[in-house]
Amino acid sequence: MKKKFFIGFMLGALMVAVTACTNNGQIISPTPTSTAKPTDTVKPTDEPSKQPTDVPQGTPTTAPADNTPTPTNEPSNTPTPLPQKDLSEFNPLDFFKDAIYIGDSLMNFYQWRGNSYVHPDIFGKYNAKLWQAVNSFAVRFAIRDVSTLSEAELGFVPKYNGEARQMWDVVAESGKTRVFMFFGLNDIGVSGVDKFIEQYQELIGKIKAKTPAAKIYIMSITSMRKDKQSTTGGLSNAKIKEANERLEALCTQNGWCFVDVASKLRDADYNLLLTLPDGTKISDGTNVHIEKAGYVFWDEALEKTAREELRKEYYEGGSK
């Protein structure tokens, strides 16, 4: 028994020696009994990502998702032009509903001898409060504090609700924004052209300060009769002509509207017409006042102004 055990031990030792010493004495590690599964392989994390060389940096490499909305019917930046309109398509009633009238006896007589009593289709329903006109009214009175006027001077100032008021307050309280004014015949002979122009600008400035949206319409000054000039002091057609030219220039400079109501009522020498070629009477016999037939030219000038202003505002209003 001992002999068999010894022989087995010696054979086992010999096999271990043969297994450990092969390949010129190099030790060969035992072959692993298990191998890693393909899913256990770990990809290196520090390997740089590669960009396609033919795609610019920052350019998406994939098409947008199918649910990305595509803009349709984008609004055009080009405004749609407004339809063209002729002057006849604009209604003067739409214009004069926002008007107030300020002036002297020429304006005062206009409301009785012409205006809405003759042409309600142009001027609309008559409203006496909107006619701040009285005989002998002048710019030099209009710019003064009414509380400083004498009783006689107050007789030359229009009344608003039965009371003499500052014109800039009247315009503001009326709610009207189209301010028509006729002045000059009671100022030029007293103050001279320079002072008259200066005071006229002052009055307009006060009105605009109180009612910034006010649009100013200065009506041209009518001429006087040639045969009456010698009896009216410093008033003359030469001065009226100068004043009209300066008022028109002021309108151009300030964006006001100069309304020509006078040119068809005078001759080539700037004198007031006595009659029309057909014999119709224009002058009423006084130095400056005119008959109802003369106010027909005022009607025409004011209606034309209304249509032109409405058309201008229509196009200035922009596109639809």
For 83-137, write each residue's pLDDT tens digit: 888 888 999 999 999 999 999 999 999 988 755 555 788 888 888 899 999 999 9
Distance CA 192, CA 97 (A): 35
Distance CA 255, CA 217 (A): 10
pLDDT of residue 61 exceeding 90: no
Residue 264 falls within a domain, yes or no?
Answer: yes
pLDDT of residue 173 exceeding 80: yes
The residues, any chain, with a CB within 8 Å of residue 258's CB and separated by 6 or more, are: 218, 220, 247, 248, 251, 252
86 alpha carbon, distance to own chain's centre: 22
Q: What value does the mean pLDDT of the chain take?
A: 82
> Count of CB atoms within 10 A of residue 231's CB?
9
Distance CA 254, CA 243 (A): 16
Residue 33 falls within a domain, yes or no?
Answer: no
Name the nearest CA neighbour of 282 among 219, 225, 239, 240: 225
Residue 75 falls within a domain, yes or no?
Answer: no
pLDDT for 74 equals 61
pLDDT for 157 equals 97
Residue 101 falls within a domain, yes or no?
Answer: yes
> Could you tell me which residues are beta bridge partners of residue 181?
102, 218
| Identity of residue 71 | P
Distance CA 139, CA 168 (A): 12
Residue 51 falls within a domain, yes or no?
Answer: no
Residue 39 falls within a domain, yes or no?
Answer: no
- Average confidence (pLDDT) over 126-149: 95
Distance CA 203, CA 181 (A): 10
Residue 240 falls within a domain, yes or no?
Answer: yes
pLDDT for 126 equals 82
Residue 256 falls within a domain, yes or no?
Answer: yes
pLDDT for 125 equals 84
For 232-286, write each residue's pLDDT tens digit: 668 999 999 999 999 999 999 999 999 999 999 999 999 999 999 999 999 999 9
Residue 36 CA neighbour count, 13 Å, CB half = 5
pLDDT for 73 equals 62
The residues, any chain, with a CB within 8 Å of residue 64's CB and separated by 6 or more, are: none
pLDDT for 82 equals 81
**Higher-confidence position of 315 and 221:** 221
For 12-51, write each residue's pLDDT tens digit: 443 444 344 444 434 344 444 444 444 444 444 444 444 5
The parent domain of residue 234 ranges over: 87-314
pLDDT of residue 70 exceeding 80: no
pLDDT for 71 equals 56
pLDDT for 41 equals 45
Distance CA 200, CA 206 (A): 10
**Residue 149: exposure state from Cβ atoms within 10 A (0-12, 13-18, ≥19):** middle
CATH number, position 159: 3.40.50.1110
- Average confidence (pLDDT) over 160-186: 97
Distance CA 320, CA 145 (A): 46
pLDDT band for 75, please (50, 70, 90 cuts). low
Q: How many domains would you assign to the chain?
A: 1
pLDDT band for 65, please (50, 70, 90 cuts). low
pLDDT for 24 equals 40
Structure-block tokens of residue 9: 């031990």
